[in-house]
């Protein structure tokens, strides 16, 4: 186990250094790719908290990415085009606060219902609620409906200029490190131990006197907020926010990252995101029908490789 640590450090360091180097020699494409990778990895870290450590298989986490992105898009939209003055702002802190509040609230309300159920019910209900968010944004014409929302501005944070691709990348990268560290802390804490206890044997935790429902709900909300934060970055990165972000195939891709990387590991979501983004890039440059090889690969992984990439590394 010990020899892996330098390897992990090496991966993180190259993720930080190479995109910037490439950008300096004029290949800004790789910087964009790395920024997207970091943002998706944050969302995967958030999902891993409940899926990996808590055993709650949520198929609806793209909803939080979308909510976070709209928390940037809607205030920016009103700031640009008027209406709803109390909401109109480009202040990044306000965007983040809205994103945290909305994704936390959405997680609380849906979690209250989802967490009463288990297994397949839970998978399907999380999926249904994210689809509800999808249809909600499709039906609001003010914010572009199906076509999405184009904002020609980004969140303003003191001393940071998100319009600069390198700073955008650095913010995403450091957020990723922060959330990986935060989730690591959570899982090592008393709370995290209770959570994995629930994953292993829920009945035992109930009889030991823990309030299982409450602990799961808190983890569910935390996980939603992390993905909501990733959504804020995603909205700033693309400046184009559409219901497509909430589509359930996005949720499926997030799950793919977490599972492929290896559940319940600190680095797993990052590995998964790296593999996913590279696969997507390579396959879609070969053929526009890249979903075909990707789907076949997914089936192969499920049928023949269990435990994800992390298990290969730690052998």
Partner 1 sequence: MDYTLLLIQVLNGLQLGVLLFLVASGLTLVFGILDFVNLAHGSIYMLGAFVCASLTYALDSYLLAVILALPIIGIIGYVFEVFLARPLYSRDHLDHVLGTFGAILVIDTIAHLIWGPAGIAIPLPNYLDGQIKISENIELPTFRVLIIIVGLLAAFGLLWLVNFTRLGMLIRAGASNRTMVSALGIDIRTLFAIVFAIGATLAGMAGMLIAPITEASLGMGNNVIITAFVVIIVGGIGSVKGALVAALLIGLIDTLGRAFLDDFFKIFMSTAAAENSAPAISSMSIYLIMALILSFKPNGLFPPRLR
Q: Closest distance between partner 1 and the C-beta of residue 263, in Å? A: 9
**What do you get for the CA distance between the two ends of the chain, in Å?**
8
Q: Which stretch binds partner 1 (CB under 8 A): 121-129, 173-181, 192-200, 202-210?
A: 121-129
Q: Closest distance between partner 1 and the C-beta of residue 247, in Å? A: 8
Q: Which stretch binds partner 1 (CB under 8 A): 63-71, 108-116, 151-159, 226-234?
A: 108-116
Determine contact, residues 72/228, Cβ cutoff 8 Å: no
3-state secondary structure (DSSP) of residue 157 = strand
Determine contact, residues 48/268, Cβ cutoff 8 Å: yes
Write the binding mask 31 to 60 for partner 1: x where contact by CB under 8 A, - elsewhere: --------------------------x-x-
Residue 135 interacts with partner 1 (CB under 8 A): yes or no: yes
Determine contact, residues 155/69, Cβ cutoff 8 Å: no
Task: Identify the residue among 161, 289, 305, 312 touching partner 1 (CB under 8 A).
Answer: 289
Q: How far is CA 162 from CA 38, 92, 150, 237, in A?
A: 15, 10, 16, 8
Distance CA 150, CA 73 (A): 8
Q: Closest distance between partner 1 and the C-beta of residue 9, in Å? A: 30
Q: How far is CA 32 from CA 55, 156, 162, 286, in A?
A: 33, 20, 13, 19
3-state secondary structure (DSSP) of residue 118 = coil
Of 187, 252, 175, nearest to 55 by C-alpha is 187
Q: Which is nearer to partner 1, 38 or 57 (CB)?
A: 57
User: Residue 101 is encoded by which pair of tokens?
Assistant: 């509040």
Residue 203 interacts with partner 1 (CB under 8 A): yes or no: no
Write the binding mask 222 to 251 for partner 1: x where contact by CB under 8 A, - elsewhere: --------------------------xx--
Residue 116 interacts with partner 1 (CB under 8 A): yes or no: yes
Write the binding mask 59 to 88 for partner 1: x where contact by CB under 8 A, - elsewhere: x-----------------------------
Q: Closest distance between partner 1 and the C-beta of residue 77, in Å? A: 16
Q: For Cα atoms 148, 86, 144, give the angle at the middle one, nearest 5 degrees.
A: 10
Q: Which is nearer to partner 1, 147 or 164 (CB)?
A: 147
Q: Please tell me the total number of residues recorded for the chain in this structure.
A: 315
Residue 221 interacts with partner 1 (CB under 8 A): yes or no: no
Distance CA 172, CA 35 (A): 6
Residue 66: exposed, middle, or buried by beta-carbon count in 10 A (0-12, 13-18, 19+)?
A: buried
Q: Closest distance between partner 1 and the C-beta of residue 231, in Å? A: 20
Binding residues for partner 1, per CB under 8 A? 57, 59, 110, 112-113, 116-117, 119-121, 123-125, 127-129, 131-132, 135-136, 138-142, 248-249, 252, 255-256, 259, 289, 291-292, 294-299, 301-303, 306
């Amino acid at each position: 186990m010990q020899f892996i640590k330098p390897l992990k450090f090496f991966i993180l360091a190259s993720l930080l250094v190479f995109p910037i180097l490439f950008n300096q020699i004029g290949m800004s494409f790789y910087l964009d790719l790395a920024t997207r990778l970091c943002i998706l990895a944050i969302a995967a870290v958030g999902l891993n908290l409940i899926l990996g450590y808590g055993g709650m298989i949520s198929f609806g986490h793209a909803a939080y990415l979308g909510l976070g992105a709209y928390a940037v898009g809607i205030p920016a939209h009103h700031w640009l085009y008027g209406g709803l003055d109390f909401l109109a702002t480009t202040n990044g802190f306000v965007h983040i606060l809205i994103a945290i509040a909305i994704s936390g609230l959405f997680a609380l309300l849906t979690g209250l219902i989802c967490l009463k159920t288990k297994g397949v019910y839970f998978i399907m209900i999380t999926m249904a609620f994210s689809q509800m968010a999808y249809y909600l944004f499709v039906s609001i014409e003010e914010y572009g409906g199906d076509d999405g929302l184009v904002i020609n501005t980004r969140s303003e944070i003191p001393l940071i200029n998100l319009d600069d691709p390198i700073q955008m990348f650095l913010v995403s990268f450091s957020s990723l490190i922060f959330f990986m560290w935060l989730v690591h802390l959570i899982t090592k804490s008393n709370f995290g131990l209770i959570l994995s206890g629930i994953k292993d044997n829920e009945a035992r935790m109930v009889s030991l006197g823990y309030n299982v429902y409450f602990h799961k709900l808190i983890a569910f909300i935390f996980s939603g907020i992390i993905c909501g934060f990733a959504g804020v970055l995603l909205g700033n990165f693309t400046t184009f926010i559409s219901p497509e972000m909430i589509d359930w195939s996005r949720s499926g891709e997030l799950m793919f990252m977490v599972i492929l990387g290896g559940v319940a590991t600190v680095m797993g979501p990052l590995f998964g995101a790296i593999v996913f983004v590279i696969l997507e890039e390579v396959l879609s440059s070969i053929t526009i029908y890249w979903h075909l090889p990707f789907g076949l690969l997914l089936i192969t992984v499920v049928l023949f490789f269990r435990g994800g990439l992390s298990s290969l590394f730690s052998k």
